[in-house]
Amino acid sequence: MRLALIVLSSTLLAACTLPTRTSAPMAQRALQRCDASAAQWAVGKTNTERNVSTAREKSGAYMVRVLNVGQPTTREFNAERLNLEVDATGRIVSARCG
C-alpha cells in the first residue's frame, strides 16, 4: 500500500514538471506606427465606419479609437493607435496618434 502511494505521488509530481506541448510558435507581426498627418483629411468628415476605417488604414495604425470631445482617456501611449475625436454632431474634430 505504501509503495503504491509513493509510485502514485511520484507519477503526479513528474506529470507536473513535464514540459507542455504547444502549437507552432506564433509569428511576430510587424509594428504598425501611426502617422496622424496621413489621417488629417478626415477632420471635418462625419464619423462613419468607412471614414474611421480609411483614416486608420491611411495613417498606418494598427487600431483606431473614437473619442467624444472632452472624454477622459487612458494615459498609456500606444504608437500603433489612431485617436479620432468627434464632437456632439458626429464630426471628426481631430486626429492624433497615441
- Check pLDDT > 60 for residue 3: no
Dihedral sign of CA atoms 28, 56, 58, 50 in order: positive
Tens of pLDDT, residue by residue over 8-54, are 455 555 555 545 556 667 788 888 899 999 999 999 999 999 999 99
Q: Which three cell numbers stand for residue 43?
A: 477632420
Tens of pLDDT, residue by residue over 58-72, are 999 999 999 999 888
The domains of the chain, with CATH numbers, are: 36-97 (3.30.10.10)
pTM: 0.69
Q: Which three cell numbers stand for residue 18?
A: 513535464
